[in-house]
Amino acid sequence: MKVFYNLLKSQNLCFKWIIFVFIGLATFSCSSLKNIGIEVAVQPEYPIGEDIQSLALLNRSMTSQFMNLKTDSLEKILINNKMSLDTVLQDSIAADTVIQTAARALYESSRFDVVVPKERNIIRTDIEEIVKPLNVSFINEICKDFNVDGVLVLESFIEQLKTNYSLRTTDGSYNNEFKAATDISYFSEWRLYRPNDLKPVIRFQIGDSIFWNVVDYSLEDVYKQMPRTKEALIGGGIAAGLKMSGYISPRWTNQTRYYYLTGKNEIDAAVPFIKNNKWEEAAAIWEKHASNSSKKIRSKVEYNLALASEMNGDLDLAIEWGLKSFKSKYSKAIEVYLKTLDNKRIAQLKENKKRY
């Protein structure tokens, strides 16, 4: 009898757990809280003040020593030096690539409007490593002519090329491996000018390197896989432009946010808009129902309005709606979201203090 009782007790406990798990899964699958992927801006190392919304980019890096080095000529130099080089090269196309790449990256960050003038090169006659800042009257003229808030100037650009081709024997003396390496070290100096000397000129010094490495069983195959010297120089220009843009413009990262479905067609009509990134249109629908008599529905609508406000760039309003949702009806979702918004606001305040 005792054994039979324990068996019944065990079966009853198991049945209760099955029911509990089933209800939990059903509740989760029918949850009104849905997720949506968004892109969030991560502020750069050197955030620029809001007074600069548009930039003109100029190239002051080229002296008379810069020239459009021909691809074939560069390869002849490489071959004549037995595929081994360690030299500074001043290529005008690579220098212009720095400007073009930086301009595109700055514009695509959505932080700046960018103008690259047709006459963008300021040819230098000196050979000084550090040039004097441009005259304020010249900067004022550029800002006026191109209707921009500031001028970003590439003041100098240097590339050092190192190449090495080597042979090594493996597995006795039957198999040979050829190894090739190309390294481009670049250094660029920039200045950011404001009209009328409203703030001190900001100076950026950027240096780094990129490299290519290939191993194969014939010198011909190795050479075919390596970039031509001209391509490597242009690659250094691309890297330098991207790095400059990354210093002052935000990068975008994917994050997840959540919104509520209310079960009311007239309220949930906002959802198609947010899936098409039309947050203002969605907010207009939700605002009509922000005074719903049901605390549960009102809290969800207020939560959604907090999200819409964040997406529309108004963090203070997002927190305001979040607090209203919290007061209307507590949920773990709004508690977590309010912490996210608060952390974002703290980060913004820190960023604003260090704007240049």
What is the Cα–Cα distance from 171 to 177, expressed in whole angstroms?
A: 10
Quick check: 21 pLDDT over 70? Answer: no
What is the Cα–Cα distance from 78 to 158, expressed in whole angstroms?
A: 19
Quick check: 289 pLDDT over 60? Answer: yes
pTM for the whole structure: 0.78
Confidence of residue 26 (pLDDT cuts 50, 70, 90): very low
**Per-residue pLDDT averaged across 162-174, rounded?**
76
Confidence of residue 14 (pLDDT cuts 50, 70, 90): very low
Q: Hey, what domains does the chain have and what are their CATH numbers?
A: 54-250 (3.30.160), 261-353 (1.25.40.10)
| pLDDT value of position 137 | 95
Quick: pLDDT tens for 37-96: 998 888 898 999 999 999 999 999 998 889 999 999 999 999 899 889 999 999 999 999
**Which of residues 253 and 171 earns the better pLDDT score?**
253
Write the DSSP string, 227-267. Answer: PPHHHHHHHHHHHHHHHHHHHHS-EEEEEEEEEE--S-HHH
What is the Cα–Cα distance from 180 to 224, expressed in whole angstroms?
A: 11
| pLDDT value of position 174 | 61
Quick check: 152 pLDDT over 70? Answer: yes
Residues 6 or more apart whose CB falls under 8 angstroms from that of 154 comprise 57, 58, 59, 60, 61, 95, 98, 99, 102, 188, 189, 190
